[in-house]
Structure 1
């Protein structure tokens, strides 16, 4: 009986331990499985490379790091863009502790090629291209020699950073390098296809999709997450585009100039303020503008409003414009670039203002914005009727004229003014001139009456 009790107790203890061990084993297995799983973040690098993309890249890399990502993959399809933004993005890549890989889905041109060269591996889709990285200015012409030299050194450094032959990176940016075997003879920039990139070891693999990409990287079990560009970041990317900035500034300045010539506050003012607010919002969200630039802008806006409603000989308006420009310079990522954008906007505003005033000042909706009409007797505007029939009539002064006073003509009392001298009360007078309410009289001497 005693042995049965012992066996029963032993069985219960065994079952109890088994129940404890199963969750522990399951937890250990689950934890090991979690440790073996790779967390991959996909970051889209699309459209033009500008400072808004830089802000998005910074947020994305920080998010990936905070969430324990093991790999970051840049899904690239860009025609290039601003050199300064590309340089800052390259610095973000170089400082990242997480391996960053470029997957060229379609094209990595110009600044896109430079960004790709800074990553550890480049994998290209079958029809993708990479290269053509010459530096051009805002007018589409080749940049000056100093800028070209800097950019060539950057391309060389990016290639050497990950053990790639710098000759091909330089050929992407320098037409003097002769590579006819790759379709880039002297005078043409190098643009590599996926197969050519594999040939010169600028691409590690060719993959048609994410599945083939992950298989090549041999990451095993993978959790994939996509970084999405938020609506605010989309606006910031649009607003910080080098082409959009001078357009916004032109719209803003033109709207404010037209508002100064129109009564009250209407469409031009709303248009101008909206464009400038969009400019500041985009630059603030992208991280280039601080509260000090916004404060300067608000002060400038208030001064311009004061000038519109309370004319102050232009002082408030000039101070307001200076304050707005100061806010723009503080909000800019490059003072030199912003000065160029402001100069472009001022030229466009001046030309557009002259054109609008000359050709549209008295047409269509501009009639409500620019007041060009005037009152005249030809159009039926009569402030006081001119009594021309009084000229030559004689009357008598009711009051002394010093030189103005009252007189009576044919029993009609009128306010009159002498030609300049004093005329006493009860004197005989004659009307010599009338203009509106002004009736000019002259004293008639007694000898003149006798001669008549």
Structure 2
């Protein structure tokens, strides 16, 4: 049997503790594999190791977090070289720039080994390395700026900025910046007879391994990473393969725009249902876990700090308090602002996070509409709305029933203007007319008796 109970401060505090515990506990457990992996991969010979790091995924914020860990390990081990094994179609420009800065600023020299393709943002990462080795049959270039649908962005400011960034990365190691510009801007026309490169307007430049070596965009070709390391003269060095941990792989999945939007939808729907339809418990657990996974993924990826989780918990607390302690909207407004701030600041891009939140809110409202409609008799609002009808058939009477006076005759004791006194049978009663005046002594008859009213009219002789 479903029992409707009002939430108490104790259950509210327990709820907040559950949220905090899920965020803290999951965060601690998920970080264990990362720390363990870091300790396990320390080379035995300090200063004699080559760190091999894969870049075989979309260039996004999760990859940046993984590479930060890899470079930190390499620097702490005083490694001789980091080899980035690149095979990617590219990704986010902002993440590529951050990764490029990481590569340039590392105290450990970097060699990019292009295994298959280094397209778009992958090209930019490779250009920031100290040297580039390409696998036969691989390609580098096609670094034009595209939107989420894969269509070219022709905004002159954006294209100009990316051309400048690519050109500067090319010049770091004496590569021709005009080639980098031709990889970005389709309006650039390029003809280099000595290098055998010719690009007409309207095309985007890509270079094969042989073309890249001839143009000075790659120093060597090698079939395998091992051959590339041997060419570097480091074949006898210890090779340390750094792979994404389970937590980092999970974080990469959790920070995906679609996944994080779904988590926000489940979180909002679960928490709201638990607040307005108490007793379900399952929606509340799902809501807490969804929000916990949202912050967990962004925390492991290196975007969210504890301040984001604290802002979210404070916002949620204020919204719950608003339900039980009306504050004329003050607590609700502050809670909403704090909750939004927590979600947005946890993401790498506040604007995309805000869009995800808006989409999640719209979807959650639609879902909640149908669920609340189905369970309308179980909502918390039933505590404040009287739904039973107190009818006479159910034994409820609003006043004394005086049906027995209907049709009885009497005499007006006082002039009825229109109220007064009449004698009906043996009783003196307060009566009222329908609006007309009746003089004292005139005969009257009861035409209506309802509640406290006895209505009479003059009886015509």
TM-score, normalisation: structure 1: 0.69
SS in structure 2 opposite 1:186? coil
SS in structure 2 opposite 1:122? strand
1:165 aligns with 2:176: yes
> Residue in 1 aligned with 2:4?
none
1:353 aligns with 2:370: no
CA contact (8 A) 2:112 2:133 kept: yes
For residues 104 and 251 of structure 1, do their structure 2 counterparts lie closer, same or farther at Cα, with a shift above 3 Å needed? farther
Task: Note the C-alpha offset of 1:88.
Answer: 1.5
2:342 and 2:460 map into 1 onto residues whose CA distance is 83
For residues 442 and 119 of structure 1, do their structure 2 counterparts lie closer, same or farther at Cα, with a shift above 3 Å needed? same
CA contact (8 A) 1:430 1:441 kept: no
For residues 58 and 304 of structure 1, do their structure 2 counterparts lie closer, same or farther at Cα, with a shift above 3 Å needed? same
> Residue in 2 aligned with 1:326?
341
Counterpart among 153, 157, 172 of residue 164 in structure 2: 153
1:432 and 1:367 map into 2 onto residues whose CA distance is 38
SS in structure 2 opposite 1:306? helix
> Residue in 2 aligned with 1:199?
214
Counterpart among 296, 302, 323 of residue 281 in structure 1: 296
1:217 aligns with 2:232: yes
2:170 and 2:393 map into 1 onto residues whose CA distance is 83
CA contact (8 A) 2:123 2:143 kept: yes
CA contact (8 A) 2:103 2:110 kept: yes
SS in structure 1 opposite 2:403? coil
Task: Note the C-alpha offset of 1:204.
Answer: 1.9
> Residue in 2 aligned with 1:56?
66
Give CA-to-partner distance per residue, 1:94-153, whole Å, 9 cap, x none.
112221001122221211110000001111222322222122345655163222221111
> Residue in 1 aligned with 2:140?
130
CA contact (8 A) 1:182 1:190 kept: no
Give CA-to-partner distance per residue, 1:197-235, whole Å, 9 cap, x none.
223222222222233222222224121111121222223
> Residue in 1 aligned with 2:403?
392
Residues 240-249 or 140-149, more deviating = 240-249
> Residue in 2 aligned with 1:69?
79
Residues 51-60 or 344-353, more deviating = 344-353
> Residue in 2 aligned with 1:432?
449
Counterpart among 147, 164, 178 of residue 189 in structure 2: 178
1:104 and 1:444 map into 2 onto residues whose CA distance is 101
Q: Equivalences for 1:375-390 in 2 at 5 Å?
A: 384=395
CA contact (8 A) 1:430 1:442 kept: no
Give CA-to-partner distance per residue, 1:426-450, whole Å, 9 cap, x none.
xx999734xxxxxx243488x98x9
Task: Note the C-alpha offset of 1:165.
Answer: 1.2
Q: Equivalences for 1:231-246 in 2 at 5 Å?
A: 231-242=246-257, 244-246=259-261
Task: Note the C-alpha offset of 1:162.
Answer: 0.9
> Residue in 1 aligned with 2:121?
111
For residues 259 and 310 of structure 1, do their structure 2 counterparts lie closer, same or farther at Cα, with a shift above 3 Å needed? farther
CA contact (8 A) 1:54 1:88 kept: yes
Residues 50-59 or 60-69, more deviating = 50-59
1:50 and 1:79 map into 2 onto residues whose CA distance is 11
For residues 316 and 225 of structure 1, do their structure 2 counterparts lie closer, same or farther at Cα, with a shift above 3 Å needed? same
Q: Which runs of 5+ in 1 are unaligned?
A: 1-33, 396-417, 420-427, 434-439
The structure with higher relative contact order (CA 8 Å, sep 6+) is 2
1:81 aligns with 2:91: yes
1:264 and 1:143 map into 2 onto residues whose CA distance is 55
Task: Note the C-alpha offset of 1:302.
Answer: 2.1
1:341 aligns with 2:353: yes
1:80 and 1:187 map into 2 onto residues whose CA distance is 21
Structure showing greater radius of gyration is 1
SS in structure 2 opposite 1:393? helix
> Residue in 1 aligned with 2:307?
292
CA contact (8 A) 2:269 2:367 kept: no
Aligned residues: 376
Give CA-to-partner distance per residue, 1:351-404, whole Å, 9 cap, x none.
5524763x66656x9997899999678xx99764689xx773349xxxxxxxxx
